[in-house]
Every structure is written in C-alpha cells, then in structure tokens.
Structure 1
Amino acid sequence: MLFLWVSRTPRTNPGAGWWAAAMLFALCARLAFLVLLQHESTLTVSAYSALNIVEKLCLVMGLVRFFNMTTATRWLWIALIAVEGWILLVALAELPALARNLVVAAFNAGALSFAAWLAFQRRAELSARLMLVTACSSALLALHWVTAFPIIALEPDWFRHGFMLGTLLVLVQYFSLLAAILLNFQNRLLEAESKALDMAFQDPLTGLSNQRYMTALFEKALLLANRPHQLAALFYIDLDNFKPINDRAGHHVGDEVLKIVAVRLRQCTRSTDICARVGGDEFVAICTQLDDANHAHDIASKLLHSLTDAIIVEGRHYHVGASIGVSLYPLHGNSLPTLLEYADQAMYQMKKSGKNGYCVHEASHPADEANRGA
C-alpha cells in the first residue's frame, strides 16, 4: 500500500509502481504458501512458484526504471515466460517437483543477483547506505534460493524456517527501496526549494542578484561587512549605447552583452559585495568595507575601465561604455532607497555631462541628508 501510495504522487519515479506490483505478487505468493501449509498440493506449490518469480521480475524492473537505465530487459521477460511455461508443464505432466524447484530457484537467484548488482553499481546516485542494504539483502536472498532446496532435502524442518528467513530479508529489501523513494522525494523538494529561491532572488539572464535580493540583504550586508569608521559605496550603472546594439544586432546579441557585463562586474568586485541587475541595462554594485571615499573612486574607475573595453559577441566587437552614479553610506544616507535615489541622480548628472564616466553624489546639507537617510 505504501508503494502504491507513493507511485500515485505526481512525477514520482516509475520504479515505485513496479515495486508496488512486486509487493502485491509477494503477498499473493505468501497467501498461497499459507494454503500450502494446510493442504499441500501441486496446484498450491505451482501457484506459489509462479507468483514468486513474477515478484522478482517486478523487483528488477523497478530498479531499472528507478535509475533510468537503458538495460535491455527483454531477456528477463523471455525467461519469465519460459519458467512459467515450465511450471505449468511440470504440473500438467506430473513431473518430479525437483524439476520445477531447480528452475524456479535458478530464475530467482539470477534475478536477485542482478538486482544486487544494479543496486551496488548505482549506489552513488542516491544513498550509498540504502543501496548497499538493498544490494546485501538481494545477494543474501539469491544465496538463500541457491541453498534452500539442498538444505530442505537434508533437513525438512528448514522448510518453515527458510520461509521465515526469506520473508525477513524481503522486508529489509523492500523497506530499503521505500526509503530510497522517500529520499528521492526529499531531494526533489530541496532542489525545488533551491530553484524557487534562485527565481526569487536571482536575475535569470545574468545570474546576478535581483532588486528583491539586494533590498532583503542590504542591511544584513552592512552589519556583517562594515566595521566602525568604514564606508560602503553604492554604484548605479547604466550602460551607454546599449539600445542601438539591441535594435541593430538583435536581442540575442544584447542578452550576450548583458551576460558579459555581469561577469565583468563580478570580476571588479569582491565575493562579499552585492552585484544586482535592477533594469534592462541597469546594474547596481554595493561594495563594503571601504576605508575612505577615495576607495570608492578607485572602484568606480575600475568598473568604468572594464565596461568600456570592447565586448566580443559572435566575432563582432561592441562598445557600450557606462554612466555610473555613486553614493556613500553613511555619508549620503542610511537606507537603501535613499542611497539608490542619490546614486541614480548622480548617474543622470553623468549622462548630461557626456556619458561614459562616473559621478559621486554631493550632499549640499549633510545634516539634512543624514536625517533623510535615517
């Protein structure tokens, strides 16, 4: 029922459905065995054997589907049909039970050995421990089928004890597989959560942070990265001559230009700084732990030099340049909106002055600016 339940969950690995079927055939086989204990007959023994080998096939098919393998399984189906036919022939022709038992044992041991090999080979793809449990229990079951009939021939009482041992190993085997499916669910949830966070805080084109992320972490970044008597600088960057590239070369070239600009911004800043894309061709860099305002001038010059270098896309050179506005924390304000506004104003001042340069905001009334930032 557990396997059936998880198999009906959307986008569940198809292995769960095969293992649900395997457990169903295992249950039916054991019900037939209970009848066999009360009324031993050729029919009940044949039914037990026929159901048991189908379970082993479903087990192997589940592993193949679970790991999305391209292993050819048609030989397993051919072997299953052949063994089922042999079981029927033994029952109808009243051949010795040993003829049936040896073939069933060989099929089950082979299928379980294959299952053990699959689980061991693919153990690194999910959980090495769980797959080792599956591999070990499958290998022990294969050994159990190889030795069961010789032991029963020497010690008939082993018939019941061997059945209980096999059932215990089957439980260990399928519980490890169920745990593997649940672990797969967990990995899917974690991956989905990670992607959701990326979508919420990351620009999908450039891979830089977006404005939401910048806003959420601005104050934390200042607390973690700034020491007393240090400054932080906010650089508002607007690319020059970007629209003609989009219009003439196409948006796909424009997108590549933006990606290269993003890479250059990362190269000009530290890993502790924040680089974000806040508009079509507008970017913001927030650099912390600056010793004085001159440090901000050095960074602005470095950014400008990097962005004025030619950008090569599809063998062609493009020159964009940039107009950069700069505001300083806490000299020009204590909040992100205030710093963004002043940096934006400085950037437009640079645009009016001829583009391709940087301009630092100048507070005409420092006390008023401090109050406004607070």
Structure 2
Amino acid sequence: MMSGEVVHTFGFTVYFVFALMFTWASHIQRTNPGAGWWALSISSAFFARLLYFALLYTGDTRLIITAYAFFIVLEKPLMLTGIVRFLNLPITTRWFWFIAALADLWLAIAWVGEFDGFTRIAGYSLINTSLLACAAWLIFRHHKVVPGLSLRIAALACLALAAHWLTAPVFIQLYPAWATTGFAVGTMLTLVQYLSLLTAVLSLFQKRLLESEARALDMAFLDPLTGLNNQRYMTTLFDQALLLATRPHHIVAIFYIDLDNFKPVNDKAGHAVGDEVLKAMAQRLKDCTRSTDICARVGGDEFVVIGTQFTREFQVEEMARKLLEHVLLPIEVGGYTFQLGASIGVSLYPEHGNSLTELVQCADKAMYHIKRNGKSGVAVYGGETAGGLGLREA
C-alpha cells in the first residue's frame, strides 16, 4: 500500500502538469473559454494537495483538513463555470458559487465549533457531491457538442467522484486507514475527469482546424460568388475527366461560354443585380450538366464546362445547343427582366489538343468567331487552315 506522502506527491505533481496543459490550451487563439476555467479549477486541486502535504508535519488534523477542503470546494464552481462556458449554456453560474460559499461557511462554523472530524468532513462532502452530480448531468446532457467519447467519459468520472465524496466520510469513519486509499481513488478519478475534459478541448480545437481547412479549400478552389469551381480547381479536375475518356471512342469536350449583353445589366441595375444574374446563370449551367461534368467560372462573365463521356460528336453539339437554350431564357432579378445570350466555343479531346491549356485556347478561338459574327451561337473548333480557322457552327 502506498504511503500518504507518495499519494499526495503524485497527486499535486500530476495536477500541476494538467494545470500547465490547460493554461497552454487556453492561450491558443480562439480556443474555447472553458479551458481557462479548467486551468484554474485543476490549479485549485493542486494547491489543495500541496497544502495537505506541506501541513502534514504539523500534525494538526483540523488545520490540514480545513485548508485542504477550502481549495477542493473552490475547485468545483471553477470547474462548473468552465463546463458552462465550454458548452455555451444559457445558465447563470452564481448559484455554483453560492453553494460553494455555503461549504466554506460550514468549514468556518466547524472550525469555531470544534466539530468532530466526521461532522466536519460530511458537511463539505455533501456539497462536493451535489456540485459533481450537477457537472455530470450537464456534461452528459450536452455530450454531443464534441465528437467522440471524451465528454461521456468526463460525465462518468464526475458521477464516480460524486459517489466517492458521498461515501468517503463513512468509510473513513469506519476504517480510518482507508483515508490514504480514498485519496488514491479520488486522485485517479480526478485524472480521468480532467484528461477527458482536456481531450474534449483538443477535439473541439481539431474540429475547428478541419472546418477552417475546409473553408480555406473552398476559398482556394471555388468561385465565392457562384459556388462553381474556379480555374485552379478546373485544372486539377481535368486530369480526372481524362480518365473518363480512356475508353475507346470516348470524347471530352470543352465549352467556353461568354455571356452576351451582360455589361448593360450592371450599367442599368447595378453590380448587386449583376451578381444575382451570374448566380442564376451558374445554376442553369449546373442544371444542364451531369455529375461527371465540370462547371467553372473563369472570368467576370465567362464560364467553362468540361463535358465527359461523349461517344459521338453530335452529342457534344446537342449539349452545346442545350446550354445556349438555357442561357437564352429570360431572367427576372430585382424587379428587372433580362434577356442575355452566349457565345459558345467548343473544342474536343483528343482531336484539338492533349492539355487543358490547348483545349481552352481552341475553344476560346471558336467563341470569338461567334462574337465577331452576330453573337449568341455555337461554334466547334476545326483547326488552323490556310484561310484562318476551320470552324463550323453547330
């Protein structure tokens, strides 16, 4: 059996380490505020054990228990305040402090009245039990805030500690030698409790990092206005699109779409309405394409669609006409009705190039052919000829 000195030395040493870890966690930018309160609560438990150990030489049991109990009682409202802050609960914490103040009042009365050890311990043990039971209930009720088992384990540890504090005075009264064992059991349960809370803090921090990373990827690869892929991500996805064209006779088509008559929208109704028109056009493009196709916004009013899994060239022309038909439909935004058009240039893989850059350039040339010849049409790139571009209008 371990001696009391060993148990308390182990206790305040480990509590000190946890206090440092919670303090470190609380200073990470935008970390949940619960970590700071738990740094204070475990520090209070540390001082309780340190004082108990330091005062053992005095042999004054009443002084030792009172000093120890003061900091142990202080730990509970600090811990509960951390739980409320961590879980962002709409609960006032002053009641926790009021109940803890009752425990300190009991210690003062017991000191003045020179109550016997059992009565003195039983008074603040009941208050510790009630506060720990409250902590277990709050944590378990809201354990889904953090993924994983950390909060459920913390709730169980709080409940076990509540039972420990409820029974400890009786065991110590009946078996005085059990006091050291009781301190050892309390130490292990407290470690499980705070380790679980620290895990919850780090899990929430990890969740925040993953969400931030996901948002950063969205910002890097998605057009913030329309939600379509941007040019950078389109380049990345093109290699995947080529994998869908590895089967014999499969074609990948690049549709370069430049909206016609879009500038008057901004001039007449303002850029806010113009943005809504672009969003509507982006949605129409997505509605016209399949899950294996890629839609991207590459400029102010310019879009690229990468169509995959075509087996015949006439299917490409049908899709181009479908895209044009949807663009030509009237758009009602902000009390205005707009009739836009689109110049669509088309290039084919592998007929017109093997890289996205080559294919986009070819589709761009086909698109400008439509622009110069009346707008709102479709042209398929046909290669360079002696007289210019070998284009054919679809």
Shorter-normalised TM range:
over 0.9
Distance 1:225 1:130 in 2: 48
Distance 1:331 1:262 in 2: 28
Q: What TM-score do you get using the length of structure 1 for normalisation?
A: 0.93
Aligned length: 367
| Residue equivalent to 1:117 | 137
- Percent identity between the two aligned chains: 50
Which residue, 8, 15, 39 being the options, matches 2:34?
Answer: 15
| Residue equivalent to 1:163 | 183
What's the Cα RMSD here?
1.8
Distance 1:111 1:95 in 2: 23
Which residue, 248, 254, 257 being the options, matches 1:228?
Answer: 248
1:185 counterpart letter in structure 2: F
Distance 2:204 2:245 in 1: 38
Secondary structure class of the residue paired with 1:324: strand
Does the alignment pair 1:361 with 2:388? Answer: no
Residues 36 and 45 in structure 1, CA contact (< 8 A), matched pair in contact too:
no
Does the alignment pair 1:32 with 2:87? Answer: no
2:289 counterpart letter in structure 1: T
| Residue equivalent to 1:141 | 161
Residues 90 and 97 in structure 1, CA contact (< 8 A), matched pair in contact too:
no
Residues 34 and 83 in structure 2, CA contact (< 8 A), matched pair in contact too:
yes
Secondary structure class of the residue paired with 2:31: coil
| Residue equivalent to 2:230 | 210
Q: Summarize deviations over 1:28-47 as a string: whole Å, max 9, x none.
A: 11122324554233222111
Distance 2:68 2:332 in 1: 71
Q: How does 1:127-276 map to 2 (within 5 A)?
A: 127-276=147-296
Q: What TM-score do you get using the length of structure 2 for normalisation?
A: 0.89
Secondary structure class of the residue paired with 1:236: strand
Which residue, 366, 370, 379 being the options, matches 1:346?
Answer: 366
Distance 1:85 1:316 in 2: 73
Distance 2:128 2:364 in 1: 74
Secondary structure class of the residue paired with 1:287: strand
Residues 226 and 232 in structure 1, CA contact (< 8 A), matched pair in contact too:
no
2:162 counterpart letter in structure 1: A
Distance 1:315 1:88 in 2: 75
The 1:225–1:48 alpha-carbon spacing in structure 2 relative to 1, beyond 3 Å, is farther
Secondary structure class of the residue paired with 1:234: strand
Does the alignment pair 1:285 with 2:305? Answer: yes
Distance 2:89 2:305 in 1: 46
List runs of 5+ in structure 1 lacking aligned partners.
370-374
Residues 105 and 145 in structure 1, CA contact (< 8 A), matched pair in contact too:
yes
The 1:308–1:255 alpha-carbon spacing in structure 2 relative to 1, beyond 3 Å, is same
Secondary structure class of the residue paired with 2:303: strand
The 1:134–1:200 alpha-carbon spacing in structure 2 relative to 1, beyond 3 Å, is same
Pairwise CA distance, 1:356? 1.6
Secondary structure class of the residue paired with 1:235: strand
2:51 counterpart letter in structure 1: A
Residues 118 and 173 in structure 2, CA contact (< 8 A), matched pair in contact too:
no
Moved more, 76-85 or 53-62: 76-85
Residues 226 and 289 in structure 1, CA contact (< 8 A), matched pair in contact too:
no
Does the alignment pair 1:53 with 2:73? Answer: yes
The 1:13–1:126 alpha-carbon spacing in structure 2 relative to 1, beyond 3 Å, is same
